[in-house]
């Protein structure tokens, strides 16, 4: 992430965000951090792990200037909005293979005992039930036994369709039960199209909590569940926006991804959202 400017140059809202970040986040280690502001889809981490994410697939690229969450000229995103399908298209069998991926498995993010995932997504079409992977660090796309992944799920049909996010943690060597967020109707929560959505998922070793926000609304709780197992080392490089096999793709943009090795507080999570909107995500 970009360095925060001096306090004299910060606007009041950005100063508040900076102070909040400096406090609650200090106890947690920022392992991975990508702001996607590079002009080509090769992204260096500002966290303690310096692994690069590289864009994969012919319909992805670095976003244009101003395409990021803040809309400021220097703020870019990773852009896969040229994709025409979300993952598998059941009629044409077309596959969206766009993704961001590490070159290899990174032990520093395997077998964590607690974590926080933070990212923004901007969907170009409604999310596909069980088809989109936002974060993939698991042994397989289905029936995974090591690692974890975050995917979209939905229920209902037509106007009654609602959407949620699912955190699928895998016991060390066995499948586990997924933890699902609150379901949202179209145009709310995680079920928004054509606007930036803020996501935070925390796991303190026993409890998983979801948070949701956007550019204009503060992060708020969006469901919770229990997982007290061990994730295990899945031997899979981290992938964003798809699976390792490239068959659960996302049509849209991603921005400001972070991974911490502990559970952040709601105050710290909101500070990250505020800083991103202000265009100063220096955490």
Taken in order of first residue, the domains within the chain and their CATH numbers are 7-278 (2.60.120.200)
Torsion region of 87: left, alpha or beta (phi above 0 gives left; psi -120 to 50 gives alpha): left
Quote the pTM value.
0.88
Number of DSSP helices (H) and strands (E) in the chain, helices first: 2, 17
Neighbours of 38 (CB within 10 A): 16
Whether the Cβ atoms of residue 146 and residue 232 lie closer than 8 Å to each other: yes
Neighbours of 254 (CB within 10 A): 24
Which residues on adjacent β-strands are paired with residue 137? 148
Q: Which pLDDT score is estimated for 141?
A: 85
Question: What distance in Å separates the CA atoms of residue 257 and residue 200, rounded to the nearest whole number?
Answer: 10
Lowest mean pLDDT among 12-21, 137-146, 263-272: 12-21
Give mean pLDDT, residues 45-71.
97
pLDDT bucket at 1, cuts 50 / 70 / 90: very low
One DSSP character per residue, 194-242 reads: SSEEEEEEEE-SSEEEEEEEESSS--EEEEEEE--S---------EESS
Average pLDDT taken over every residue of the chain: 87
Provide CB contacts within 8 A for 63, sequence distance 6+: 36, 76, 77, 78, 79, 253, 255
pLDDT tens for each residue of 162-194: 999 999 999 888 888 999 999 999 999 999 999
Q: Which pLDDT score is estimated for 203?
A: 97
Q: Which pLDDT score is estimated for 9?
A: 36
Phi and psi torsions of 275, nearest 5°: -65, -40
pLDDT tens for each residue of 69-103: 999 999 999 999 999 888 764 545 678 999 999 99
The two structure tokens encoding residue 109: 């993010």
């Amino acid at each position: 992430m970009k360095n925060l400017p001096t306090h004299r140059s910060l606007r009041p809202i950005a100063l508040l965000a900076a102070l909040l970040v400096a406090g609650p986040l200090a106890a947690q280690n920022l392992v991975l951090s990508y702001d996607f502001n590079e002009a080509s889809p090769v992204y260096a981490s500002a966290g303690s792990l310096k692994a690069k994410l590289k864009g994969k697939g012919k319909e992805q690229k670095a976003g244009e200037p101003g395409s990021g969450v803040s809309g400021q000229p220097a703020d870019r995103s990773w852009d896969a909005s040229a994709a025409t399908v979300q993952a598998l298209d059941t009629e044409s069998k077309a596959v969206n293979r766009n993704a961001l991926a590490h070159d290899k498995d990174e032990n520093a993010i395997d077998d964590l005992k607690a974590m926080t995932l933070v990212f923004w997504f901007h969907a170009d079409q409604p999310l596909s039930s069980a088809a989109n992977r936002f974060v993939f660090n698991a042994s397989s796309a289905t029936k995974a036994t090591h690692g974890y992944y975050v995917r979209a799920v939905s229920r209902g049909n037509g106007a009654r369709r609602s959407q949620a996010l699912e955190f699928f943690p895998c016991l060390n060597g066995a499948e586990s039960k997924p933890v699902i967020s609150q379901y949202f109707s179209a145009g709310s929560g995680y079920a928004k199209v054509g606007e930036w959505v803020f996501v935070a998922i925390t796991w303190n070793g026993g409890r998983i909590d979801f948070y949701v926000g956007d550019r204009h609304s503060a992060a708020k709780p969006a469901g919770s569940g229990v997982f007290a197992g061990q994730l295990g080392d899945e031997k899979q490089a981290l992938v964003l926006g798809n699976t390792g096999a490239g068959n659960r793709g996302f049509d849209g943009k991603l921005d400001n991804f972070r991974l911490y090795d502990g559970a952040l507080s709601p105050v710290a999570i909101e500070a990250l959202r505020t800083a991103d909107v202000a265009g100063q995500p220096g955490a």
